[in-house]
């Protein structure tokens, strides 16, 4: 079972965003909204996110006044600490959560510009891991010389009191569940799987589930800004991290410094529309892959001259075969490659065109040699399944945040069936599975607290919004929409493939963002790079 998400782990790892299991996030907690009800309306919201008062409430003073105790951790030059935040900002006396923070101090030369907070997306991606494995060592040296590189795992994620739901064996069964049900029996099995997953989360993380929203994590970021001694927040967020950053700007526009939102999400859309747009985004990415594949001698889906539509039908037919006859996989702990796992493996490779060769090899092995190990490897990387059969908490946090941020895309299987033609039109290859996967939040044990909202962030400093024209996970239209909402936005476009743009090979993109981070000079609105 794939679970759509927006997540960037590193420049080279597949930046995975999948899942329909939880309507890709967006949504806020403020004022009323005119769209995005549980019916999953496709209409964008008219309501806007309201900024919080500038004065810090007295009840939060102990949190804003805390001191971090830094210690060595991970690789050399990295330090870690624990940030305390209220469990419930509406009632700070109800308890607190402890958030994992990491930093790598500015190396010089040059004047220190403050802290640069980074977030890789998800929701559910570990920002601390991202900092230590990539941003703290892979961001341009001139940026790392001037900024303390900082990350905080959002509440419920990784080291920050992680949400827990299922053990490894239970998660294996969950990911193998058929998300293209052919009859009532298979539909009931899918619903049962969603219910068991939700019940597991509710039983193991009852305290946190009501308090892992994007709004709350954005408020945690403001706590961290103050504790670090920064007057304004400087930030680079990728994928879902753009929603987190935009939410911060909407809540605290006067405290917003240099913000880069790369692979932007549109917070004004309800869950069903987000899922539908993302379905079309993966179809766009797949067609780019298919067009490239048929020019290669090792393409298992067709030879030179094969149409893109035919490539899609060939892949869909292969998925259909796996639906009834899963393929064995060497070195896979006895697991077999099911239709659901194979689909997830293909989706995983759509995040980065550098994975296309690996995908061709994996498909060839599965289709011609009847060995599903390659596609299982891609699927496991997407779900962050470990060699010992356990899973990271990424998917649990992903669902928890998404289901709290927005009302469900669908409430019943009947609603999914009615919407199937729309999803299959958006993607003949992936549409059916994505539609059924979007039913997940209907059974969540906690009601959504957020709704779709526009974010204007009036009074904020210039914000750079980055969109990639053939991005599968965060379609380019979302970047266009967010840049129109944010009053100070500058839209920077990468004409290319893959998910997100910064640090992925475009000198033009990297130069524009580096100049903004180092000098405060944003690119001209509408600038395009390739």
DSSP 10-36: -SSS------TTS-----B-SS--SS-
Backbone dihedral angles phi then psi of residue 255, each to the nearest 5 degrees: -105, 10
User: Helix, strand, coil % (nearest 5) of the chain?
Assistant: 45, 15, 40
Q: What is the pLDDT of residue 235?
A: 98
Q: What is the pLDDT of residue 137?
A: 94
Question: CA 251, CA 457: separation in Å to the nearest integer?
Answer: 7
Write down the pTM of the prediction.
Answer: 0.92
Helices then strands, each counted (H, E), the chain: 18, 14
Q: Which residues are marked as active site?
A: 239, 471, 499
- List, run by run, the mean pLDDT of 10-residue segments along the chain (530 residues): 49 32 28 32 76 95 98 92 98 96 95 97 97 96 98 98 97 97 98 98 96 98 98 98 98 98 98 97 97 97 96 98 95 89 98 97 97 97 96 97 98 98 98 98 97 97 98 97 98 97 96 98 97
For residues 353 and 498, the answer to whether their CB atoms sit within 8 Å is yes
Q: What is the pLDDT of residue 6?
A: 57
Question: CA 217, CA 195: separation in Å to the nearest integer?
Answer: 26
Q: Is 79 helix (H, G, I), strand (E, B) or coil?
A: strand
Q: What is the pLDDT of residue 5?
A: 54
Q: Give Cβ neighbours of residue 464 (< 8 Å, ≥ 6 apart).
A: 259, 260, 261, 489, 490, 492, 512, 513, 516, 522, 523
Question: What would the two tokens of residue 391 be?
Answer: 């899973």
Question: CA 87, CA 236: separation in Å to the nearest integer?
Answer: 25
User: In this structure, are strands 121-122 and 6-7 parallel, antiparallel, or unpaired?
Assistant: antiparallel
CB atoms within 10 A of CB 128: 27
Q: What is the pLDDT of residue 331?
A: 74
Structural domains in the chain?
30-161+214-268+450-529 (3.40.50.1820)
Q: Is the peptide bond before 172 cis (omega within 30 degrees of 0)?
A: no
Burial class (CB in 10 A: 0-12, 13-18, 19+), 225: buried
Question: What would the two tokens of residue 347 be?
Answer: 């989706």
Question: CA 221, CA 231: separation in Å to the nearest integer?
Answer: 13
Backbone dihedral angles phi then psi of residue 228, each to the nearest 5 degrees: -75, -10
């Amino acid at each position: 079972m794939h679970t759509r998400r927006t997540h960037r782990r590193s420049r080279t790892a597949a930046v995975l965003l999948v899942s329909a299991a939880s309507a890709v996030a967006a949504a806020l907690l403020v004022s009323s909204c005119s769209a995005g009800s549980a019916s999953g309306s496709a209409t964008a919201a008219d309501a806007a996110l309201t900024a919080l008062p500038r004065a810090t409430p007295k009840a939060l003073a102990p949190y804003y006044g805390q001191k971090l105790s830094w210690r060595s951790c991970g690789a050399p030059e990295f330090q870690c600490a624990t940030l305390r935040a209220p469990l419930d900002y509406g009632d700070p006396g109800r308890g607190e959560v402890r958030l994992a923070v990491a930093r790598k101090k500015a190396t010089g030369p040059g004047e220190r510009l403050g802290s640069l907070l980074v977030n890789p997306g998800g929701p559910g991606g570990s920002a601390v891991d991202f900092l230590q494995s990539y941003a703290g060592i892979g961001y341009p040296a001139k940026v790392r010389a001037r900024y303390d590189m900082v990350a905080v795992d959002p509440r419920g994620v990784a080291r920050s009191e992680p949400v827990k739901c299922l053990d490894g064996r239970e998660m294996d069964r969950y990911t193998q569940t058929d998300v293209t049900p052919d009859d009532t029996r298979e539909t009931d099995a899918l619903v049962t799987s969603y219910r068991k997953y939700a019940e597991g989360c509710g039983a193991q993380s009852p305290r946190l589930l009501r308090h892992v929203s994007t709004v709350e994590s954005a408020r945690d970021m403001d706590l961290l800004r103050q504790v670090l001694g920064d007057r304004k927040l400087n930030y680079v967020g990728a994928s879902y991290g753009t929603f987190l950053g935009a939410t911060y700007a909407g809540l605290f526009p006067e405290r917003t410094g240099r913000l880069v939102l790369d692979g932007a999400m549109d917070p004004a859309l309800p869950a069903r529309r987000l899922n539908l747009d993302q379905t079309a985004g993966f179809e766009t990415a797949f067609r780019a892959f298919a067009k490239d594949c048929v020019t290669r001698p090792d393409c298992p889906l067709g030879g030179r001259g094969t149409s893109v539509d035919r490539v899609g039908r060939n892949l869909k037919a292969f998925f259909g075969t796996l639906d009834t006859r899963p393929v064995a996989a060497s070195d896979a702990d006895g697991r077999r490659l099911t239709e659901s796992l194979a689909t997830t493996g293909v989706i995983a490779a759509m995040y980065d065109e550098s994975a296309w060769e690996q995908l061709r090899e994996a498909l060839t092995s599965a289709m011609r040699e009847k060995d599903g190990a390659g596609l299982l490897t891609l699927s496991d990387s997407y779900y962050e399944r470990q060699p010992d059969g356990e899973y990271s908490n990424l998917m649990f946090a992903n669902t928890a945040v998404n289901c709290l941020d927005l009302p469900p895309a669908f409430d019943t299987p009947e609603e999914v069936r009615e919407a199937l033609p729309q999803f299959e039109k958006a993607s003949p290859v992936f549409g059916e599975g994505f539609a059924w996967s979007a039913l997940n939040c209907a059974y969540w044990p906690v009601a959504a607290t957020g709704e779709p909202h526009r974010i204007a962030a009036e009074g904020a400093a210039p914000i750079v919004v980055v969109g990639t024209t053939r991005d599968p996970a965060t379609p380019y239209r979302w970047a266009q929409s967010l840049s129109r909402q944010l009053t100070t936005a500058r839209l920077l476009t990468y004409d290319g493939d893959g998910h997100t743009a910064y640090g992925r090979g475009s000198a033009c993109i990297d130069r524009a963002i580096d100049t903004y981070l180092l000098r405060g000079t944003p690119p001209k609105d509408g600038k395009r790079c390739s």
